[in-house]
Amino acid sequence: MFEKILIANRGEIALRVICACKDLGIRTVAVYSEADRYSLHVRFADEAVCIGPARSARSYLNIPSVISAAEITNVDAIHPGYGFLSENADFAEVCETSGIAFIGPKPDVLRMMGLKQQARTAMKAHGVPILPGSDGILQDAEHAAGVAGTIGYPLILKASAGGGGRGMRIVRSAEELPALLVQAQQEAEAAFSNGDVYLEKYIERPRHIEFQVLADLHGGVEVLGERECSIQRRHQKLIEEAPSPAVSEDLRQRVSGALKQAFASVGYSNAGTVEFLMDPGGNLYFIEVNARIQVEHPVTEAVTGIDLVKAQLRIAAGERLPDILGGPVTLRGHAVECRINAEHPETFAPSPGRIRALSIPGGVGIRVDTAAYSDGIIPPYYDSLVAKLVSYGSDRTEAIARMLRALDMFVIEGIHTSIPLHQRILADPVFQAAEIDTSYIQRLFAREKLEAVSA
């Protein structure tokens, strides 16, 4: 096992990795930007190195700075968390050539999974169903029109190097296509320095369902069930749960079988998430692989009893999955996660600032992952996640009741947060009946408006 690792991240996920390291007796090195000098990950790591100014391009995304911090502190490995450098194949390669283990898949696999169009092709080749779409990158408007003609509208334009919901455009007719293609390409180029765009069939009101994979360095692959992430705003997740109310044991087994084969064939290692959309007919279609630990991993931990970050460390150190998992994976109970963001609950505008008062809920069935503290600052430079509130119960009803209780007892003063919106969602009979899809929040707002008018 590693003796000392560096965590190339900040916020709650940096603390989450520190927890796993402490549990395994591994020493930790935090890196931080000037804006994060007083952050908890800096306080709780064994050592800390400042890697640059607030802007992430000059600190958390600055490969030479991170690598020199790792070299100065003489670490064995780097855990990248999520976001930042976590799916950067060049970074993984630099780690390897510097003799530092990268806790994630190998650079070539990371490179392939990072280009959604290539991942689509690879999954299709191994029998995983994908949405009808272009076979490769769109060359020009004429090419796009040809593909669109064969698949039919509505369609969605997506950035191959995309993430964070950027570079996507829904196309409802042939007339709109040329202008939206240019917009998507420009947005992709600006955001990812890669203007490659492809077309996919657009599913109306899909559910977003994703499967958790673990793979060791010896060809062993295990699937740890799925998560439902349909509660989204602006194509970004807000609430996740495990298991999905829409996935039967039979479907779970079939998808897991196909994924095990596909992941073994591409030589995947470490943790990964395979995202699917489910159409109203209950069919699942692959959309992308996230080759890292996900924000929403705690719901899977709750229902499987497996510490996924610890598993990542043990895999990277060369241990085998059967030893790590200690027996067959079984799912028990139900878990829900609410992402508590520093944002306005109606407009979703970011709301950074100083937390004036904070009281974190606890009690049976509640877990809170956060780096927030009273009088601490949520800086404007990074993502707006303040805390992940996770509830667990013997079934979905109990998990929801516990979540409502914890939301009620969660006090964050000084900034706007998504707590009021979470309270409305968890109390909504439509959510409680699990009649959810990715348009749920939009429809909730519309229903509330109607009720306000008729009241």
Q: Which residues are catalytic?
A: 292
Distance CA 332, CA 395 (A): 9
Q: Report the nearest approach of ligand ADP to the CB of residue 312 (Å).
A: 21
- Helix H or strand E segment including 286: strand 284-290
Residue 178 as a binder of ligand ADP (CB under 6 A): the answer is: no
408-413 contacts: CB < 8 A, separation 24 or more? Answer: 408/361, 409/359, 409/361, 409/363, 410/340, 410/359, 410/360, 410/361, 411/357, 411/358, 411/359, 412/340, 412/355, 412/357, 412/358, 412/372, 412/386, 412/387, 413/355, 413/356, 413/357, 413/358
Give the DSSP per-residue string, 73-137: HT-SEEE--SSTTTT-HHHHHHHHHTT-EESSS-HHHHHHHHSHHHHHHHHHHTT--B-SB-SS-
> Strands 4-7, 77-79: parallel, antiparallel or unpaired by DSSP?
parallel
Selected binder of ligand ADP within 87, 200, 216, 383 (CB under 6 A): 200
Residue 447 as a binder of ligand ADP (CB under 6 A): the answer is: no
Q: Report the nearest approach of ligand ADP to the CB of residue 104 (Å).
A: 17
Residue 114 as a binder of ligand ADP (CB under 6 A): the answer is: no
Distances, alpha carbon 139 to alpha carbons 132, 170, 179, 183, 333, in Å? 18, 18, 14, 14, 48
Give residues with Cβ within 8 angstroms of 23, minimum separation 6.
Answer: 307, 310
Residue with Cβ nearer ligand ADP (61 or 274): 274
Determine the angle formed by the axes of helices 396-408 and 419-427, rounding to 10 degrees: 150
Give residues with Cβ within 8 angstroms of 190, minimum separation 6.
Answer: none
DSSP structure class, residue 169: E
Residue with Cβ nearer ligand ADP (232 or 304): 232
Selected binder of ligand ADP within 8, 110, 284, 287 (CB under 6 A): 287
Residue 278 as a binder of ligand ADP (CB under 6 A): the answer is: no
CA 306 to chain centre: 18
Residue 184 as a binder of ligand ADP (CB under 6 A): the answer is: no
CA atoms within 13 A on the CB side of 72: 14
Residue 235 as a binder of ligand ADP (CB under 6 A): the answer is: yes
Distance CA 185, CA 197 (A): 6
Alpha helices in 201-332 (DSSP H): 249-265, 297-304, 308-316, 321-325
Residue 164 as a binder of ligand ADP (CB under 6 A): the answer is: yes
Q: Report the nearest approach of ligand ADP to the CB of residue 291 (Å).
A: 12
Residue with Cβ nearer ligand ADP (236 or 394): 236
Selected binder of ligand ADP within 156, 309, 399, 406 (CB under 6 A): 156
Residue 124 as a binder of ligand ADP (CB under 6 A): the answer is: no
Residue with Cβ nearer ligand ADP (35 or 277): 277
Residue 283 as a binder of ligand ADP (CB under 6 A): the answer is: no
Selected binder of ligand ADP within 309, 421, 438, 441 (CB under 6 A): 438
The span of 56-64, 163-171, 367-375, 414-422 binding ligand ADP (CB under 6 A) equals 163-171
Q: Report the nearest approach of ligand ADP to the CB of residue 230 (Å).
A: 8
Bridge partners, residue 387, by sequence: 340, 370
- Helix H or strand E segment including 7: strand 4-7
Residue 232 as a binder of ligand ADP (CB under 6 A): the answer is: yes
Residue 147 as a binder of ligand ADP (CB under 6 A): the answer is: no
Distance CA 380, CA 198 (A): 32
Residue with Cβ nearer ligand ADP (185 or 438): 438
Residue 196 as a binder of ligand ADP (CB under 6 A): the answer is: no
What 3-state class would DSSP assign to 248?
A: coil
Tokens 């028990």 identify what position?
332
Residue 206 as a binder of ligand ADP (CB under 6 A): the answer is: yes
The span of 94-102, 156-164, 174-182, 248-256 binding ligand ADP (CB under 6 A) equals 156-164
Q: Report the nearest approach of ligand ADP to the CB of residue 366 (Å).
A: 27
Residue with Cβ nearer ligand ADP (164 or 376): 164
> Strands 236-242, 334-341: parallel, antiparallel or unpaired by DSSP?
antiparallel
Q: Report the nearest approach of ligand ADP to the CB of residue 439 (Å).
A: 9
Bridge partners, residue 368, by sequence: 389
If binding means CB under 6 A, how many residues of this protein chain bind ligand ADP? 19
Selected binder of ligand ADP within 82, 202, 286, 348 (CB under 6 A): 202
Residue 165 as a binder of ligand ADP (CB under 6 A): the answer is: yes
Residue 220 as a binder of ligand ADP (CB under 6 A): the answer is: no
Residue 180 as a binder of ligand ADP (CB under 6 A): the answer is: no
Q: Report the nearest approach of ligand ADP to the CB of residue 127 (Å).
A: 20
Tokens of 157: 């334009």
Q: Report the nearest approach of ligand ADP to the CB of residue 114 (Å).
A: 10
Residue 162 as a binder of ligand ADP (CB under 6 A): the answer is: yes
**Interface ranges with ligand ADP (CB under 6 A):** 131, 156, 162-165, 200-203, 206, 208, 232, 235, 275, 277, 287-288, 438
